Structure formats: structure tokens, C-alpha cells
A and B are shown apart, each in its own frame.
Chain A
């Protein structure tokens, strides 16, 4: 018994991820946390998408199921679980059954290396980014299998188109990623790293987010990746293969109920995954804005002892460390404000109480985030999640604003526009990096 406790405690205070440290218990704990967090994130994304899209379209979105539709995703999940499970008559049973699982597996396995903080990842592979790109390309197989197993030519055509689109934009994504990885090698040893945590640490060491590096090259590489990742996840404006008004109805036509919700889950997880790649590579991962600026050094009163006593502390550190707590308190304030605006009808009593309760929970989380031990551990996760949330908002914004590209225009853009741009950025980045003698030692 004591041995087990010692095993558990041996990891605490380490400066490596549990996978790298070899501690199985904490690996499992982290897996549970990431899996749970991802599921909550997907549910939240569902609600956010409907609400934000509705507000952009001058309407309200779900308002009935729970206060302001907050319970709508749960209602949707229950509905999908209760639906009849249909399998087409001539469909290939085994493949039909396996396809959604392959897509979900590919989408979820990717999160093994996503770094929420310097030690807050399940593991830190030294080929982290390569692993992420590789596993997310396995989801293409799942889509092809799904289209094939439906035994109907519209889903087949839709699946083949979806997968052709994903494979084409993977090339552009890869080139943009290589440009960013190239920038990690601008250090004393001259070697870069493919590890996700290493990439963020390189940005910290070079005191510059890679999106601003070698301006405008970092920005163009980021732009290429940002466009390619929207095409990779089959979202608007590149969602021809699953649009309703087109002739081919998409690879998940024949799937209903739980199986369809697996595809849906995988789509949102893939969106979060590629946004995580973009955030890690270009936007500094878990680093707060201006990570090396500490501002005037202030002596923070001792009832706020820092986790690492040797780290420099300044006024800006204090200001930025208040952000997580303040954000949650803002959410709580919005909840309370909307509680006050709820109609005063007896039928709305439960909803009003629910919303107030939700606001209380958010407020308590916000207050807890002011407590220094919690705050310091959660700060990195907060900044990472905030940046990924920004990308999610962009996804929803694109869906509300842009018309759809036609398939041949889509492929043309992937091969004739993004690929040459990616190659150009890569060559220019390498050239500029070579011409910086003070950083690069042969």
C-alpha cells in the first residue's frame, strides 16, 4: 500500500510529463482528464455553435431546453442515443460498424501529445507534431470506409471527395508545419525539435511567438495552416461534401443515431486538435501574451507565494495571472444578468433557478482561480484553452459568413495556391534563418 502511494507521489513536482516520466498512474489520470475535458468541450462547442450562429443570423438559437438552451446538447445526445439504428440492407456490416470508430479513434488519439502546459500533457513524444499529423490522416481512412460501407453511390462519391480534399490540404498543412518547425532550430545547438512541448519552449527561449517571427513569413505560414485546417476538417467554406443542397449527400448519410453522433464527435475533436496544433506552433501554446515581459518588479505580498520562488515576478505577471479568475467571474456575471432578465412567469421558475445555479458554479470556479496554488497550475491550461476557443469562434464565424466553394475550385486552391505559397514560405524562412549569423552556429 505504501509502495503504491509512494509511486503516485514520486511524480508530483516533476518537470516532465507523466508519459516521459514513466508514471502509469498519472498517465491514466491525465488520460481521463483529457478525455473528459474533450467531451465537455465538444458538448460546449455544440451549444456555442448553435447560439453564435443564431446570433449572427439575427435570431436567438435554442432557448427552451434549459435556460438559454444550455441543456440543448444533452437533449440532442439523448435523442441521438434513442434513435433507431439503421443499417442499409446491402451494406458491408463489419466496415459499416468499424468506420465511425476509426474516425473517433484517430480524432481522440491525437490528444496524447497536445501540450496544455510544460508538464500538462499525457506524454511528450519527440516526434510529437509528426505523430499528430499522421494520426489525423488516419481519419481519412475512416471516412472512405464509411462512404464505401453505405453501399449507395451518393455517399461513396461524397466520401471520395471528402477524402481527396483532406489529402490535398494535408500537403499544404505539412509545408506550413515544416516552416514553423524550422524556426525552432534557431538556437545555439542549431537543432530544432518536433516535440510539441519543445516547440513552445523554443518560442519562449526566442522570446517571440512564431507568428511574428521573420515578419511576414510566420504570418503567411500561419495563414496557410489556418486555411488548410478548415479544409482538413471539412468545415465551411469547404464543406461541399456534406452540404444539404448539393447533389451528393455526404459520407454519413446512411448513419443514424449513435453512429452519426460518433462522426459528429470526431469532427469537433478534429477541429480542436488542429486548432491546438496551430496554437502550439504559432501562437505560443500555453504562454501568456508577452511571456518575457514582467513589468516593473513588484514585491507581491507574501500571502500570494509563487510556485517557483526563483522566477522573476513583476506587475505584468500579477495582472495576467488574474485573467483566468476574472474570465470566469465575467461568465458568472453574465449568467446573473440574464437571470435578472428572465421572464417572471411561474413556468420559468426552474429555468431561472438553473441559470442562477450555473452562475454560482462559474463564480465559485472563478474565485477558486484566484487562489495561488490552483491559479499557478491552471494558468497555462487557461491560456491554451482561451486561444483554442478563439479558433473555435473563427470556425463558427466562417460558417456563418462564407458561401461554399465548388469542389474543383477547392482542389484548385489547395494545389495551385496554398502549395506554392507553402513552398515559397518554406524556402524564404530557411533563407532568412541562414542569414541570421548571430543565432545559427554551423
Chain B
């Protein structure tokens, strides 16, 4: 299906992402921050869709928004939030923070202006039908070793979490 109104959707989704991101760091209530993060992640999934990567978008929704954020919310809700709501929002090191942010921003702008030429003018026409197949072939073919190492790492993390949380083995 031919893409429809790409600039409009791109600006809309990026705007949602930016607003969501700003809300994450400015809200006092951590639950509100987590919900703003969920909105950001959903907007990000939509941008993946625009980049002809539907599999990545689907996995983003399932794992990130539907799994990890739910766990974030569990922890936030089970830990008493009275203290954090009354905490000061902006701490006293704001001068250093401002300098660091400006330096980082300058760095990004420099990289962009210097390296503008390597970015293509228009988006490559990519066939979206085999995004899943391509990921599968690469993941289970070329990057098989990394895949197995990552799954082993996750297993170790799960066992560690269970060991730390159980009262007696």
C-alpha cells in the first residue's frame, strides 16, 4: 500500500514522542511519568511502522509497552510514592546539567552538519513484506552466537532475581 501523508504523520508522531519525553521527566507523580513513557514508546512503534519495519514495531508494542512498562508500573505502585511526590523536581546541580546538555546538543548539531551528505535524500523504497523474514534469517544465521549469548544472559538475570527475592530456597 502506498504511503499516505508521510510528513504529516512523521511530525505528528515525533511531536508526540517529544511531548511524552518531556512529560516523563517533568511530572512529579512517577505513575504519570511511566504512562507518558508508554505514550512515547507507542509513538516510537508507529515510527518504526513508517520505516517499513512492522516486525520491530510489533515487538516494541508487545515487549516494551506491554511487558517492561507493566513491570515498571508494578514496582512504582508497590513502593510508597508519598515521598517522591513531595521531592523537589529540579535539584541544585542545574548549572552543570545545563552546560552538559548544551555541549551534547552542540555535538549532535556538529555531527549532523558535517555528515549531512551520508544521509539519503529520500527514504529508500523498501519492500515491507519480508521484514520478518529478513530479521529471522539474520538473527538465526549470521548473528546466531550473539542471540544465544543474549538468551543466556537473560536466563542468568532471571535466576538471579529469583534467588534474591525468595525467602528460602
Contact = CB atoms under 8 A, between A and B. Distances in A.
- Whether A and B touch (Cβ < 8 Å) is answered with yes
Nearest to B42: A138
A21 to B, nearest CB: 8
Interface in B65-96: 65-67, 69-70, 73-74, 77-78
B54 A160 contact: no
A256 interface: no
B151 interface: no
27 contacts: A22-B1, A95-B35, A126-B54, A126-B129, A126-B132, A127-B57, A130-B55, A130-B58, A130-B62, A134-B58, A134-B59, A134-B65, A134-B66, A137-B66, A138-B65, A138-B66, A140-B70, A141-B38, A141-B65, A141-B70, A141-B73, A144-B70, A156-B77, A160-B77, A160-B78, A163-B74, A164-B74
Contacts of B131: 126
A94 B57 CA distance: 27
A87 B99 CA distance: 45
A167 B67 contact: yes
A148 interface: yes
A95 B1 CA distance: 37
Given A126-B54, A127-B54, A144-B74, A138 B31 contact: no
A92 B130 CA distance: 44
Contact of B69 (A95, A135, A141): A141
B59 to A, nearest CB: 7
Given A95-B35, A141-B65, A144-B77, 5 more contacts: A127-B58, A127-B132, A130-B59, A191-B133, A194-B132
A6 B35 CA distance: 45
Most buried by A among B1, B54, B58, B132: B58
B128 interface: yes
Interface in B15-51: 29, 31-32, 35, 38
Interface of B: 1-2, 29, 31-32, 35, 38, 54-55, 57-59, 61-62, 65-67, 69-70, 73-74, 77-78, 128-133
A134 B62 contact: yes
Contacts of B62: 130, 133-134, 137
Contacts of A137: 61-62, 65-67
A386 B32 CA distance: 43
Interface of A: 19-22, 92, 94-95, 125-127, 130-131, 133-135, 137-138, 140-141, 144-145, 148, 156, 160, 163-164, 167, 170, 191, 194
Contacts of B73: 141, 144, 148
A144 B74 CA distance: 8
Nearest to B55: A127
A375 B14 CA distance: 47
Contacts of A133: 62
A215 to B, nearest CB: 27
B66 A141 contact: yes
Contacts of B77: 144, 148, 156, 160
Contacts, number: 74
A127 B45 CA distance: 13
A167 B70 contact: yes
A22 B31 contact: no
A135 B61 CA distance: 7
A127 B131 CA distance: 9
Contacts of B32: 94-95
Contacts of A19: 1
Nearest to A166: B70
A375 B4 CA distance: 35
Given A126-B54, A140-B70, A160-B74, A145 B59 contact: no
A259 to B, nearest CB: 18
B61 A22 contact: no
Nearest to B60: A134
Nearest to A191: B133
A108 to B, nearest CB: 16
Contacts of A164: 74
B84 to A, nearest CB: 15
Ranked 9 nearest A-B pairs via Cβ:
A137-B66, A134-B61, A130-B58, A134-B62, A127-B54, A127-B58, A22-B1, A144-B73, A134-B58
A230 to B, nearest CB: 19
A138 B61 contact: yes
Contacts of B2: 22
A248 B73 CA distance: 19
B54 A125 contact: yes
B128 A148 contact: no
Contacts of B55: 127, 130, 194
Nearest to B61: A134
A126 B31 CA distance: 34
A276 B61 CA distance: 20
Nearest to A148: B77
A94 B55 CA distance: 32
A144 B76 CA distance: 11
Nearest to A98: B35
Contacts of B1: 19-22
A133 B65 CA distance: 12
